[in-house]
C-alpha cells in the first residue's frame, strides 16, 4: 500500500477519534452542572474509583518511595550528598511519581472496568434502553464516573505522596542508617506547597483523561464480546499513553 | 379502529444509510390509534433501524416521522426526551440493567420521571410484574432470570410509565415456542388492557399473525405491502409469498449483499439472527 495513503488514513482516523472524544467531553461538561445529580451513582463510583483502588495505590506508592530512596542513595553517596535523599524522594513523589503512577494504576483498574461495563451495556442495548426511559446516558452513566474520577484521583494522590515519602523514610532510616531528624528536615525544608499543587493538578487532569477516554471507548463499543474486549484494551492503552504524554506538557508548562 | 380513526404514527419517505449501505430507502408507514402494526422482513432489511428511528435512537437521513401529528424527526435531545415518555420499548434481549434488581429495573422510569416515594415505586413495579405474569421476582437480579422472564420483565419496565405507544423488537426471538406463544398472548393482552398503539418487528410469521391487526412487509428498504393478516396470507406478491412461506428459493436471494453488511451496535445479534434463520 502507498505509504502516504497509510499515514493519511491513520491521521484522519486519529483526528476523527480525538474529535469524538472531545465532543463527548463537552457533552459531559454540559450535563455536570445540571441538577438533579444522581447521588447514588456518584457515591457508588467514588467508592469504585477511590476506596477500591486504595490498596493498589498504597502498595505502588510505598514501593516506589522505597526504591527511590535506595537508588538515589547509591548515586548521592558517590559525591557525599546522602542527606539529600529525603528531598529527592519528596519532590519526585509529589511532583511526578505520585500522580503518574496513581494515574496509570487507576487507568488499569478503573478505566478498564468503566470501558467493559459501559461497553457491555452498549452491546446489550442497555444504553438504548436508558434513552427509551427518557434518561440521558451521558448524565446517568458518564457524569458520575467523571465526577468520581476528578475527585478521587487527587485524593488517592495525596495518600500516594504521604505513603511514598514514608516508604523512602523507612528505607533511609531503617536500612541505610540515615538520621531520622535530618531526613525529615531535608524533606520539609525543600518541599514547597507548590510541588503538592502541581501534583494535584496533574491528578485532576489524569482523572479527567481516564474517565473520558474509558467512557468513550465503552460507549462506542460494537460487535459483541469481542468489541467489549477491544474497547477495554483501548481504554487502558489510550488513557495510559495520554497520561504520560500530557504529563510532560503539564510539567513543561508549570515548570 | 380501521382507517377512519386518527393516525398515531406516520412515517414518510424515511431514508437511512450506514456508509455505503443504504438500509432504508423511502419507508412510508401509517399506524392508527390503538392499532397493532407488525413489520415483517428478513434480517438486515432494516426493521430494527426503522423502529430505532421511530423512537429517536437513530436519526433518519431523510424523511419525516410524526407522532400524534407532531413531527419528531427534527427535535433536539431535550424535546425528544419528552416525546420518548410516550413510548415504551421491549428490546430483543431484554436490555435489563444488570446492576439492578428486577423491581429497580421496572421502576427505573418512575424513579427518574416522577417524584414517587420508593415504596410506591416498588408497589407499582410489583403490579406491573403481576400484569406480565410474574410474581415474587422483585428482588432477583436479571442474571438469575430465564430468557422468557427477561422479556416479561422488560415488558413490565416498558409499561411501567404507562406509554401510549409500545414498540416490540423481535418479541419472540431467542425463546422456546411455548414461551413465545405466551409472549404473543401477553402482547395481545397489553393492547386490550392498556389500549396502547403498538409497533412490533419480527420475522416470526406465527407471531405476526397472532399479534398484528395489520402487517407490513419491509423489503430492500421499502414497505412493499401492508394488509390485515388475512390479506397478507393471501398476498399475490411473490416476495411476500416467499417470505411468509419461508422458502429459500424465490425473488429474495439468501445471499443478498444487504444480509452480509452488519448493522451497527448489534452485529452480534444480527449475526445470531442470520444463523437462526438459515437453520
The answer, for A23 touching chain B at a CB cutoff of 8 Å, is no
- Whether A96 maps to a domain, the answer reads yes
**B267·A134 Cβ contact <8 A:** no
The answer, for A134 touching chain B at a CB cutoff of 8 Å, is yes
Nearest to B35 by CA among B237, B235, B229: B229
- Whether A157 maps to a domain, the answer reads yes
Q: Do B51 and B169 touch, CB atoms closer than 8 A?
A: yes
- Whether B49 maps to a domain, the answer reads yes
The answer, for B78 touching chain A at a CB cutoff of 8 Å, is no
Q: How many CA atoms lie within 13 A of B83 on its CB side?
A: 23
**B57·A136 Cβ contact <8 A:** no
Within 10 A of A2 (CB to CB), how many other CB atoms are there? Answer: 8
- Chain B's closest residue to A224, CA to CA, is B268
Collapsing DSSP states into helix, strand and coil, what is residue B72?
coil
Residues contacting B222, CB < 8 A, separation 6+: B25, B26, B27
Summarised one tens digit per residue, pLDDT across range B19-33 is 888 889 999 999 999
Q: Do A206 and A102 touch, CB atoms closer than 8 A?
A: yes
Q: What is the DSSP string of A172-203?
A: IIIIS---HHHHHHHHHHH--HHHHHHHHHHH
Q: How many CA atoms lie within 13 A of A159 on its CB side?
A: 16
Instruction: Report how far apart, in Å, the C-alpha atoms of B261 and of each of A221, A229, B47, B271 are.
Output: 17, 22, 14, 10
- Whether B117 maps to a domain, the answer reads no
Within 10 A of B149 (CB to CB), how many other CB atoms are there? Answer: 21
**B267·A131 Cβ contact <8 A:** no
- What does the mean pLDDT of chain A come to? 92
The strand order across the sheet containing B21-32 reads B21-32, B7-18, B62-67, B70-71
Collapsing DSSP states into helix, strand and coil, what is residue A97?
helix
Identify the residue among B266, B273, B275 best suited for mutation to test binding to A, counting A beta carbons within 10 A and taking the highest: B266
- Whether A137 maps to a domain, the answer reads yes
Question: Which chain B residues touch A222 with a CB distance below 8 Å?
Answer: 264-265, 267
Summarised one tens digit per residue, pLDDT across range A45-71 is 999 999 999 999 999 999 999 999 999
Cα four-point dihedral sign B67, B73, B79, B84: positive
- Whether A28 maps to a domain, the answer reads no
- Whether B118 maps to a domain, the answer reads no
Question: Which chain A residues touch B109 with a CB distance below 8 Å?
Answer: 133-135
Instruction: Compute the nearest-CA separation of B95 from chain A (Å).
Output: 5
The answer, for A241 touching chain B at a CB cutoff of 8 Å, is no
CA atoms of B26 and B23, how far apart (whole Å):
10
The answer, for A47 touching chain B at a CB cutoff of 8 Å, is no
Summarised one tens digit per residue, pLDDT across range B255-277 is 655 555 554 444 444 444 444 44
**A123·B266 Cβ contact <8 A:** yes
* Average pLDDT, integer, range A184-200: 88
- Whether B31 maps to a domain, the answer reads yes
Question: Which chain B residues touch A128 with a CB distance below 8 Å?
Answer: 52, 57, 89, 91, 95
Summarised one tens digit per residue, pLDDT across range B83-121 is 888 999 999 888 999 999 999 999 999 988 888 898 999
Residues contacting A71, CB < 8 A, separation 6+: none
> What residues make up the domain containing A144?
39-254
**A136·B77 Cβ contact <8 A:** yes
- Whether A14 maps to a domain, the answer reads no
- Whether A155 maps to a domain, the answer reads yes
ipTM, two decimals: 0.82
Residue B26, domain CATH: 3.40.50.300
CA atoms of A129 and B6, how far apart (whole Å):
28
Identify the residue among A24, A28, A132, A229 best suited for mutation to test binding to B, counting B beta carbons within 10 A and taking the highest: A132
- What does the mean pLDDT of chain B come to? 85
Question: Which chain A residues touch B19 with a CB distance below 8 Å?
Answer: none
> What residues make up the domain containing B205?
7-86+165-172+197-278
Nearest to B96 by CA among A77, A206, A125, A12: A125
- Whether B46 maps to a domain, the answer reads yes
Identify the residue among B56, B86, B97 best suited for mutation to test binding to A, counting A beta carbons within 10 A and taking the highest: B97
With 80 as the cut, is the pLDDT of residue B240 above it?
yes
- Whether B39 maps to a domain, the answer reads yes
- Whether A25 maps to a domain, the answer reads no
- Whether A118 maps to a domain, the answer reads yes
Instruction: Compute the nearest-CA separation of A130 from chain B (Å).
Output: 9
Summarised one tens digit per residue, pLDDT across range A143-161 is 999 999 999 999 999 999 9
- Whether B75 maps to a domain, the answer reads yes
How many domains, chain B? 1
Grid cell digits, residue B102: 428486577
CA atoms of B28 and B222, how far apart (whole Å):
7
How many domains, chain A? 1
Amino acid at each position: 500500500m502507498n505509504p502516504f495513503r497509510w499515514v493519511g488514513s491513520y491521521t484522519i482516523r486519529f483526528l476523527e477519534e480525538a474529535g469524538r472524544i472531545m465532543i463527548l467531553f463537552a457533552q459531559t461538561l454540559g450535563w455536570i452542572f445540571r441538577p438533579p445529580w444522581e447521588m447514588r451513582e456518584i457515591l457508588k463510583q467514588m467508592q469504585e474509583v477511590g476506596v477500591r483502588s486504595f490498596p493498589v495505590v498504597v502498595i505502588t506508592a510505598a514501593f516506589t518511595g522505597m526504591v527511590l530512596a535506595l537508588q538515589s542513595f547509591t548515586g548521592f553517596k558517590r559525591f557525599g550528598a546522602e542527606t539529600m535523599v529525603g528531598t529527592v524522594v519528596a519532590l519526585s513523589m509529589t511532583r511526578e511519581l505520585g500522580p503518574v503512577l496513581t494515574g496509570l494504576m487507576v487507568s488499569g483498574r478503573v478505566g478498564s472496568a468503566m470501558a467493559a461495563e459501559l461497553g457491555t451495556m452498549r452491546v446489550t442495548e442497555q444504553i438504548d434502553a436508558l434513552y427509551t426511559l427518557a434518561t440521558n446516558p451521558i448524565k446517568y452513566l458518564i457524569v458520575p464516573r467523571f465526577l468520581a474520577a476528578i475527585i478521587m484521583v487527587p485524593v488517592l494522590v495525596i495518600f500516594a505522596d504521604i505513603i511514598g515519602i514514608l516508604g523512602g523514610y523507612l528505607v533511609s532510616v531503617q536500612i541505610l542508617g540515615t538520621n531520622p531528624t535530618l531526613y525529615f528536615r531535608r524533606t520539609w525544608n525543600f518541599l514547597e506547597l507548590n510541588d503538592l499543587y502541581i501534583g494535584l493538578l496533574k491528578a485532576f487532569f489524569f482523572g479527567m483523561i481516564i474517565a473520558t477516554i474509558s467512557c468513550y471507548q465503552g460507549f462506542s463499543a460494537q460487535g459483541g464480546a469481542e468489541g467489549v474486549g477491544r474497547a477495554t484494551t483501548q481504554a487502558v492503552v489510550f488513557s495510559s499513553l495520554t497520561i504520560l504524554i500530557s504529563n510532560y506538557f503539564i510539567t513543561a508548562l508549570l515548570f | 379502529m380501521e382507517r377512519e380513526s386518527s393516525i398515531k404514527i406516520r412515517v414518510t419517505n424515511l431514508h437511512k444509510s450506514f456508509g455505503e449501505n443504504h438500509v432504508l430507502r423511502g419507508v412510508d408507514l401509517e399506524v392508527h390509534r390503538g392499532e397493532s402494526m407488525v413489520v415483517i422482513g428478513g434480517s438486515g432489511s432494516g426493521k430494527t433501524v426503522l423502529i430505532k428511528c421511530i423512537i429517536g435512537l437513530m436519526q433518519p437521513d431523510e424523511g419525516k416521522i410524526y407522532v400524534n401529528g407532531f413531527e419528531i424527526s427534527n427535535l433536539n435531545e431535550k424535546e425528544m426526551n419528552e416525546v420518548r415518555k410516550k413510548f415504551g420499548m421491549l428490546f430483543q434481549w431484554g436490555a435489563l440493567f444488570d446492576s439492578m434488581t428486577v423491581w429497580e429495573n421496572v421502576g427505573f422510569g418512575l424513579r427518574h420521571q416522577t417524584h414517587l416515594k420508593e415504596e410506591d415505586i416498588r408497589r407499582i413495579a410489583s403490579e406491573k410484574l403481576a400484569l406480565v405474569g410474574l410474581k415474587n421476582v422483585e428482588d432477583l437480579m436479571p442474571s438469575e432470570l430465564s430468557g422468557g422472564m427477561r422479556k416479561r420483565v422488560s415488558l413490565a419496565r416498558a409499561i411501567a410509565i404507562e406509554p401510549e405507544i409500545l414498540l416490540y423488537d423481535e418479541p419472540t426471538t431467542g425463546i422456546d415456542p411455548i414461551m413465545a406463544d405466551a409472549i404473543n398472548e401477553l402482547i395481545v393482552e397489553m393492547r386490550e388492557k392498556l389500549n396502547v398503539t403498538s409497533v412490533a418487528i419480527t420475522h416470526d410469521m406465527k407471531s405476526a399473525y397472532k399479534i398484528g391487526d395489520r402487517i407490513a412487509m419491509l423489503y430492500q428498504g421499502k414497505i412493499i405491502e401492508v394488509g390485515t393478516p388475512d390479506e397478507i396470507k393471501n398476498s399475490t406478491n411473490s416476495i411476500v409469498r416467499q417470505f411468509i412461506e419461508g422458502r429459500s428459493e424465490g425473488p429474495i436471494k439468501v445471499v443478498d449483499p444487504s444480509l452480509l453488511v452488519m448493522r451497527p451496535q448489534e452485529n452480534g445479534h444480527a449475526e445470531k439472527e442470520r444463523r437462526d434463520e438459515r437453520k
